């Protein structure tokens, strides 16, 4: 490959998707194809965002026969290391798309990025300024890989793509490749057979509950009597409904030992229940107040029995350390 001091050689600039069929016909349901590509494009945008790249995705013609779709990745803002950035982006995308739920997409992308940027065409350009830009790109990409496994958008979009194919029996396997559309040189290629589609599909949209402590909530609407009604309070600057799970605090309220007036607040531990929609966006489906640490009377905190009890519990680290003393 030819190389000069100002530019890097082309590695890969396209993501190619090839569908294989059970029968001889290469016809694919247009609705299924468009839905798959919609999910794939959203997935590409999210991965690029996590890698801190602003990209444009263009459709490129495929030079070979067969049912193939080619998506060209272009940086919105060009710079001298742009070719390296695009090459890294395409191989990382293939790695993330083909990483099943049981594997780390971040680790797969990180390994490929390291291998690619250590190649002579990227590491030995003869231009110090360009090498510094490539190193800066490497650090940026590696940092971005840390967030690939935590993105629910990536998980959900990838799940949607393979779920669509899993429901379409004519597809026997799908192949992803990072390639140079002009030279048809393949940087990375990965096949996913039909029997493995299920390994990418999420079984539920319900997320792990999040537990947070030491949260102040201004009570708007308490429940003063025994009932299944929900409380209302200000949380993160907006009114929210809460399920009061603290039996101790409910008894204090129902017996009249805790009086509410405008601006009354409590400090508590919450469990936040979440679910993601079809685009991978999180939304809160419910909040429970598990423990009330203290409430306020005339702006003075009054500690509850369960709050005191929680304070007396030894820290896990201290307890474990004591075992070895």
Instruction: Please indicate, yes or no, whether residues 193 and 216 belong to a single structural domain of this protein.
Output: no
Per-residue pLDDT, 197: 97
Write out the H or E segment, with its range, that includes residue 220: strand 210-221
Domain end position, chosen among 154, 174, 200: 200
Residue 4 resides in a domain: no
Q: What is the pLDDT of residues 218-241, one digit of tens each?
A: 999 999 888 889 999 999 899 999
Residue 270 sits in a domain of what CATH number? 2.40.50
Domain match, 217 and 127 both: no
In a domain? residue 1? no
Could you say which of 158, 174, 200 is where a domain stops? 200
Residues 6+ away with beta carbon under 8 Å from 67: 18, 19, 21, 26, 28
Residues 266 and 240 in one domain: yes
Residue 169 to residues 16, 165, 207, 260, Cα–Cα distance (Å): 21, 7, 30, 61
Cα(222)–Cα(241) distance, integer angstroms: 10
Residues 296 and 160 in one domain: no
The structural domain count of the chain equals 2
Q: Are residues 232 and 98 in the same domain?
A: no
Residues 177 and 37 in one domain: yes
pTM: 0.80
Residues 6+ apart with CB under 8 A from 48: 54, 55, 73, 89, 93
Range of the domain at 76: 14-200
If DSSP codes are grouped into helix, strand and coil, which group holds residue 8?
coil
User: Is residue 4 very low, low, confident or very high in pLDDT (cuts 50, 70, 90)?
Assistant: very low
- State whether 172 and 216 are in the same domain: no
Summary mean pLDDT of the chain: 84
Among the candidates 200, 232, 247, a domain finishes at 200
pLDDT tens per residue across span 112-157: 888 877 776 666 666 777 778 878 888 888 888 988 999 999 999 9
Same domain, 136 and 261: no
For the ranges 41-55, 124-138, 265-279, 294-308, the lowest mean pLDDT is seen at: 124-138
Secondary structure of residue 187 in the 3-state scheme: strand
4 or 90, greater pLDDT:
90
Question: Phi and psi at residue 18, in whole multiples of 5°?
Answer: -125, 130
């Amino acid at each position: 490959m030819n190389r000069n001091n100002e530019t890097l050689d082309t590695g890969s600039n396209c993501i190619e998707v090839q569908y294989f069929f059970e029968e001889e016909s290469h016809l694919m349901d247009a609705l299924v194809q468009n839905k798959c590509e919609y999910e794939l494009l959203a997935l590409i945008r999210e991965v690029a965002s996590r890698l801190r790249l602003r990209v444009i995705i263009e459709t490129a013609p495929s030079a070979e026969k067969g049912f193939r779709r080619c998506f060209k990745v272009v940086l919105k803002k060009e710079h001298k290391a742009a070719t390296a950035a695009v090459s890294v982006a395409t191989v990382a995308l293939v790695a993330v798309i083909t990483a099943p739920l049981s594997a780390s997409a971040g680790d797969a992308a990180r390994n490929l990025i390291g291998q690619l940027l250590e190649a002579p065409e990227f590491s030995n350009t003869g231009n110090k300024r360009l090498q510094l830009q490539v190193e800066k790109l490497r650090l940026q990409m590696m940092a971005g890989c840390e967030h690939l496994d935590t993105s629910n958008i990536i998980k959900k979009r990838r799940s949607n793509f393979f779920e669509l194919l899993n429901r379409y029996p004519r597809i026997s396997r799908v192949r992803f490749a990072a390639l140079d559309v002009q030279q048809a040189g393949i940087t990375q290629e990965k096949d996913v057979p039909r029997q493995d589609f299920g390994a990418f599909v999420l079984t539920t949209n319900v997320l792990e509950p999040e537990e947070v402590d030491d949260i102040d909530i201004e009570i708007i609407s308490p429940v003063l009597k025994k009932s299944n009604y929900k409380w209302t309070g200000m949380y993160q600057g907006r009114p929210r409904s809460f399920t009061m799970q603290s039996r101790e605090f409910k008894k204090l309220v129902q017996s009249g030992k805790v009086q509410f007036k405008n601006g009354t607040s409590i400090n508590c531990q919450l469990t936040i229940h979440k679910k993601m929609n079809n685009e991978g966006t999180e939304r809160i489906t419910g909040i429970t107040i598990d423990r009330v640490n203290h409430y306020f009377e005339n702006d003075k905190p009054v500690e509850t029995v369960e709050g005191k009890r929680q304070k007396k519990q030894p820290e896990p680290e201290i307890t474990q350390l004591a075992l070895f003393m």
